Amino acid sequence: MRLLRFIRIFNMDISLLLSFMSASLLLALMPGPDNILVLTESVSKGAKYGVALAFGMNSGILIHTLAAATGLSLFIQNSAYAFTIIKYLGALYLFYLAFMSFNEKKENIDFSSDIDTFNFWSLFKQGFLMNVLNPKVSLFFIAFLPQFISPGGMHIILQMIILGAIFMVLGFIVFALIALSASRMTGFLRSDRFWSYTKYTKVIVLSLLGIGLLLSKK
C-alpha cells in the first residue's frame, strides 16, 4: 500500500519502478569491487567494519545521482536528438561492462584475521570517497537511470533523484546483509562454481540493461 501511495504521489510508472528495483537488487548482489571489499573487511575484521564501509559507499551514490540528474536533464528534457545520443552511448557503456564482466577472473579473498581499532567515521569516509571519486560510477548512472524515467511523470531531475535514493537504500541493505552473513559465506567464496554463476549472471543483467536502453523512447 505504501509503495502504491508513493507511486501515486510522484506520478511514476509502477512497472518501470518495479523493474528498476529488481535490476538494482541484482546489480547489488553481483560480485564487484565494492561488495567484495565489504565482504573482505567483514570476514577478516568483523561485520561492523563491513557495515560502516557499506554505509559510506552507498552514501556516495547520491552525489553521482545528482550529477547525472542535473547534467542529463539539461540535454534530454527538450531534445530528442540529445536523448538518442546519450541512449546509444549509455547502451554501449553497459555492453562494455558486460564484456569486462565476461573476462573477469575469480577474486582472491584474504580470510586472515587482522585486528584493528574500529572507527566508524574513518571507514565511512573511506567508502564514501572510494565511491565518489570513481568516475565509472557516474558513467554507469548516466547509462542506467534514463531507461526507468516515466515519460508522463514529474520533472526528470526529481525522478532520477528518487531512483538514485532507492538504489542507495537497496544497495546498503544488500551490502549490510553481506557484512552480517560474511562468516557463513566463506565456502561459497572458495567455490569456482559460485564465481562462474555470478559472472554469467552479471553479464546477462548488464546486457539486458543495454538492450533495454536501446529500446527505450523519450
Q: What is the pLDDT along the chain (218 residues), one digit of tens a residue?
A: 555 555 555 556 788 888 899 989 988 887 776 777 787 777 767 788 889 989 998 998 888 888 888 776 555 555 666 667 766 776 787 788 778 777 766 656 555 555 557 788 888 988 898 788 776 677 788 778 877 887 776 777 888 888 999 999 999 999 999 888 876 666 666 667 766 776 777 677 778 777 876 776 65
Closest CA to 167 of 217, 209, 123: 209
Please give the pLDDT value at position 167: 93
Question: Quick one: DSSP state of residue 11?
Answer: T
How far is Cα 128 from Cα 138, in angstroms, rounded to an integer?
A: 14
3-state secondary structure of 163: helix
Please give the pLDDT value at position 63: 85
pTM: 0.69
Residue 182 identity (one-letter amino acid): A
Please give the pLDDT value at position 170: 94
Grid coordinates standing for 194? 559460485
Please give the pLDDT value at position 94: 74
Closest CA to 216 of 77, 90, 71: 90
Please give the pLDDT value at position 175: 92
Degrees to nearest 5, angle at CA 144 with 182 and 7: 90
Please give the pLDDT value at position 74: 55
Q: Are 65 and 164 in contact (CB under 8 A)?
A: yes
The CA-atom distances, in angstroms, between 198 and each of 25, 134, 204 are 13, 23, 10
Please give the pLDDT value at position 169: 93
B/e letters for 58-91, b = 16+ CB within 10 Å, e = fewer, are bbbbbbbbebbbeebbeebeeeeeebeebbeebb
Greatest alpha-carbon pair distance for the chain in Å reads 56
Please give the pLDDT value at position 28: 87
Q: Are 141 and 58 in contact (CB under 8 A)?
A: no
Which ranges of 103-191 does DSSP label H, i.e. alpha helix?
A: 120-132, 135-144, 156-180, 186-189
Residue 113 class from Cβ within 10 Å (0-12 exposed, 13-18 middle, 19+ buried)?
A: exposed
